Amino acid sequence: MKTAAVCLFLSGSVAAATAELDNLVATSTALVTQIDLGIQYVGAATTASYMQDPIVAEYGIQANAYITSEQATAYNSALAGMTNFQAYTATQFLTDQGNIQLELMEDAIDNFTSVVIDMSTVVQVADMAVEAQQTKDTQKQEDLQDYVVNNAEILTIDQTDVDSYNQSLDDVAEHAGTAGAYLAVAANVEATDFLDNASIESGNRWTDSVDNLSFDHGNNMVAVDWANATMYGVYIDGSYNTALDVLKSNSEILSIGSNSEFYLTGPTANNYDCFIGQGEYCDSEREPLINPDGGNR
């Protein structure tokens, strides 16, 4: 079993992602400038027609093209520094992977919405049943009975509906949680420094690490597991007194969700008639989740 290295936000910082490249650009172009001058000086010597039109350069001007020991040392140091260069950093990698998960989440939300729309007649039945029960109105109770009996086939929910609903919930939860975890780590400098150091030390590049990245929701840890290295992990729930804690409780999530436009335009926030856009006492500022003529909003 492989051991794991966990980010405790005590790791040393890596240099800015572009520092190595900036140094190489600066030192190499400085040398190129000197070499370019040298070529010009020598070029002047090679093209002059000494027999017909001899020329003599000012004394010592070739020194302008000299390369200093300091310039050479700086260039060599910049070359060595490219060992630690990262064209694609942990921050960029995790942000990209988080955005991919957001796209998958949107697809899962579309699937969930379709399933809920198909099952929304449950809300209609519940509204009618509650009203019939609370009013003790015999006519309403008989109307409910007739409606249920005459529409039993379309009102019935089978196991396929149940499985589709539950699976769509799982898919939304998986992709939403993974996206949140990746983006939270991407936004934390200490965490990305830790992962960038791990990448450099193990000789791995983020461009090749898609299959090595995962989010274990059970342990609330974003992990990178390269074949040639220890597994590196970052907790997102404040474990081990780490600074990164974005985990929300059930009550917090429900509070956020109950105030979302998605919920407020859904079938359960008001009633079925409002949901399909045919209610008499609905919030007129909100569009129904589906159009009265059918189809998603």
Residue type, 226: W
Residue 194 CB contacts under 8 Å (≥ 6 apart), including other chains: 7, 9, 11, 232, 234
Let me know whether 65 and 187 are in one domain: no
Let me know whether 65 and 178 are in one domain: no
Q: Could you give the C-alpha distances from 38 to 25, 76, 236, in angstroms and in order?
A: 20, 20, 57
Residue 125: the pLDDT is: 85
Let me know whether 36 and 147 are in one domain: no
- 232, 247, 262: which is the final residue of a domain? 247
Q: Could you give the C-alpha distances from 9 to 14, 123, 188, 240, in angstroms and in order?
A: 13, 49, 10, 10
> Digits of tens for pLDDT over the chain (297 positions)?
444 565 554 444 444 557 887 888 899 989 889 889 888 888 888 887 666 778 878 888 989 988 899 998 988 888 877 776 777 899 999 999 999 999 999 999 999 999 888 888 888 888 889 888 998 889 989 988 988 899 888 888 889 989 999 999 999 999 999 999 999 999 999 999 999 999 988 989 999 899 999 999 999 999 999 998 889 999 999 988 777 999 999 999 999 999 999 998 888 887 676 776 655 556 545 444 444 344 444
Q: Tokens 């149940």: give the residue.
A: 162
Q: Domain range spanning residue 56?
A: 19-84
Residue 199 in any domain: the answer is yes
Q: Could you give the C-alpha distances from 79 to 144, 216, 291, in angstroms and in order?
A: 81, 39, 63
Residue 253 in any domain: the answer is no
Residue type, 91: T
- For 237, phi then psi, to 5°, come to -120, 15
Let me know whether 217 and 129 are in one domain: yes
Residue 295: the pLDDT is: 47
- 203, 223, 247: which is the final residue of a domain? 247
**SS percent in the chain: helix, strand, coil, step 5:** 60, 5, 35
Residue 182 in any domain: the answer is yes
Residue 3 in any domain: the answer is no
The total domain count for the chain is 2
Let me know whether 44 and 189 are in one domain: no
Let me know whether 46 and 157 are in one domain: no
Residue 166 in any domain: the answer is yes
Let me know whether 111 and 200 are in one domain: yes
- 247, 264, 280: which is the final residue of a domain? 247
* This prediction's pTM: 0.73
Q: Tokens 């856009």: give the residue.
A: 277
Residue 259 in any domain: the answer is no
